[in-house]
Amino acid sequence: MSNETLTPGGAHPDMLGGMTDPEKTGHFVAPYDEGVSFDELPDSAPKERFRLSLTGWIGAIIVVFWLLVAVFGPFIAPWGENDLPFPDDYSEFQSPRAGAWLGTDVEDRDILSRIVFGAGRTIGIAFAATILAYVLGVVLGIGAAVSGPKVDMVMSRINDAFLSLPTIMLGLVVVAAVGSSIPVLICTAGLIYATVVFRLARALGMEIMVMDFVEAAKARGEGRWWIITREIWPNAAMPLITDFGLRLIYVILFISSLSFLGLGVQPPQADWGSMVRENLGALQYGESVFPVLAPALSIATLTVAINLVVDDVSAQAGGRLSKRL
């Protein structure tokens, strides 16, 4: 299109062949209007709106499905958490049948209903623990980043000491000592994962602290509170939110592992990890694999689905962040 405008008469312009100036100089000038201003060109191509990829969509659908189950599940579950659908039938680990679409477990309870109740408990505990981890980790981490090298050194070394402990072992010791209950689980998981969040928040805070706009705020005479809340936090929020999804996965696996080891959610309450443990016998004696497979698959689908969404978001946010900063 622009090609036609290049040469009078619409001929193909030939820079070196000298068609525009057949004398000998080969001096080519594009046609122009006198008085046209040449505005500064935009810095970068317009940014594309955020879009989920196909795998991102699949992940999002699965995550939303599990969230709906967790919230509304108890109202639509065919049976109560500890109801016996077939009180007269004493055989455990029954195969799927009418009235118990995923079969029954070691105590003859309906697996589908327990998965539904377990969803709320597993996701709820993990969510609460992750939020706790974030509140602690972000406040302390950004606090360390802005507090100068000495305070940072002390806080970071204490954090490193906690990080060096194996998470499951630490969790087992705490729960064994205090006794297991849902608040204890939330606090334990929250504290353990706060160490990881601390590192991330501190690193992000450090990175933003050295940006010119933070230095400009300091040179203006701004106090620490302004710098944390107005300069650092808005820029750290996006990568932290991305990491939140990832951390949620780890906490789900952690809670499930504790439950599997018998120190998490206590029977008769349902939880995916403890369901696997309760029904382990099905693998040896039962005719059905569903008592173990169903909760295990629930954990797997939820964590993988969260991961798919986080992958998409972080690819986008990461790209944007690095461009912005």
Partner 1 sequence: MAQTRNPGDRLPGDIVFETRDLRIGAIQHDGSEIRIVKGVDFKVRRGEVVALIGESGSGKTTISLSALGYTKPGLSFTGGEALLLGQDVTKMTTDELRPLRGISVAYLAQSAAATFNPSIRINEQVTEAPVLHGTKTQAEANAKALDLYRALELPDPDTIGERYPHQVSGGQLQRLMAAMALCGDPELLVLDEPTTALDVTTQIEVLKAFKQVIQEEGAAAIYVTHDLAVVAQIADRVIVLYNGEIKEAGPVHELITNPVHPYTRRLMAAIRPMPEAGQGEDSSDEHLRADPALAAKGIDAGYGVIGSNGKAAIPVLRDVDVAIERGKTVGIIGESGCGKSTLARVFAGLLPASDGEIHLDGERLSPDLAGRTREQLRKVQFVYQMADTALNPRQRIRDILGRPIDFYRTAEGMTRRQRVDQLLEMVELPLQFADRYPHELSGGQKQRVNLARALAANPEIVLCDEVTSALDTIVAANVIALLTRLQRETGVSFVFISHDLSTVSSFADEIVVLYAGMVAEQGPTDRVLSPPFHPYTRLLVSSVPEPRVGWLEEAAQTREAKAGASGSVQLTETGCPFFARCPVAIAGTCDVVDPPKLNDGAGHIIDCHRSLEELGG
User: How many whole angstroms separate alpha carbon 77 and alpha carbon 79?
Assistant: 5
Query: Measured from the CB atom, is 19 or 168 closer to partner 1?
Result: 19
| Min CB(238)–partner 1 separation in Å | 9
Helices 290-324 and 54-76 cross at an angle (nearest 10°) of: 130
Query: Measured from the CB atom, is 48 or 88 closer to partner 1?
Result: 48
Please identify, among the stretches 91-99, 179-187, 217-225, 265-273, the one whose residues bind partner 1 according to the rule CB under 8 A: 217-225
Look up residue 246 and give its two tokens: 């990832």
Site string for partner 1, 7-26 (x = CB under 8 A): -----xxxxxxxx-xx-xxx
Question: What letter does residue 17 receive in the DSSP assignment?
Answer: T
Query: Measured from the CB atom, is 214 or 292 closer to partner 1?
Result: 214
Among 151, 153, 216, 283, binds partner 1 (CB under 8 A): 216
User: How many whole angstroms separate alpha carbon 50 and alpha carbon 129?
Assistant: 29
Count of positions on this chain that bind partner 1 (CB under 8 A): 50
**Are the beta carbons of 236 and 208 closer than 8 angstroms?**
yes
**Are the beta carbons of 201 and 290 closer than 8 angstroms?**
no
Tell whether residue 97 is a contact of partner 1 (CB under 8 A).
no
Tell whether residue 160 is a contact of partner 1 (CB under 8 A).
no
Tell whether residue 98 is a contact of partner 1 (CB under 8 A).
no
User: How many whole angstroms separate alpha carbon 98 and alpha carbon 2?
Assistant: 71
Query: Measured from the CB atom, is 214 or 293 closer to partner 1?
Result: 214
Query: Measured from the CB atom, is 152 or 231 closer to partner 1?
Result: 231
Among 54, 88, 149, 324, binds partner 1 (CB under 8 A): 324
3-state secondary structure of 252: helix
Query: Measured from the CB atom, is 34 or 88 closer to partner 1?
Result: 34
Residue that has been written with the tokens 């009418």 in this structure: 98
Site string for partner 1, 235-264 (x = CB under 8 A): x-----------------------------
Residue that has been written with the tokens 């039962």 in this structure: 286
Among 45, 54, 98, 177, binds partner 1 (CB under 8 A): 45
Please identify, among the stretches 33-41, 60-68, 162-170, 185-193, the one whose residues bind partner 1 according to the rule CB under 8 A: 33-41
Tell whether residue 28 is a contact of partner 1 (CB under 8 A).
yes
Query: Measured from the CB atom, is 14 or 287 closer to partner 1?
Result: 14
**Are the beta carbons of 158 and 167 closer than 8 angstroms?**
no
User: How many whole angstroms separate alpha carbon 308 and alpha carbon 246?
Assistant: 10
Short-list 109, 94, 129, 95, CA closest to 270: 109
Residue 312 CB burial class (10 angstroms; 0-12, 13-18, ≥19):
buried
Tell whether residue 48 is a contact of partner 1 (CB under 8 A).
yes
Cα dihedral 193→199→205→208 (10° resolution): -120
| Min CB(121)–partner 1 separation in Å | 37
Short-list 66, 230, 236, 206, CA closest to 134: 236
In the chain, how long is the greatest CA-to-CA distance?
107
Query: Measured from the CB atom, is 54 or 169 closer to partner 1?
Result: 54
Residue that has been written with the tokens 């008592």 in this structure: 291
Applying CB under 8 A, which residues contact partner 1? 1-3, 6, 12-19, 21-22, 24-30, 32, 34, 36, 38, 40-43, 45-46, 48, 51, 211-213, 215-216, 218-222, 230-231, 234-235, 323-325
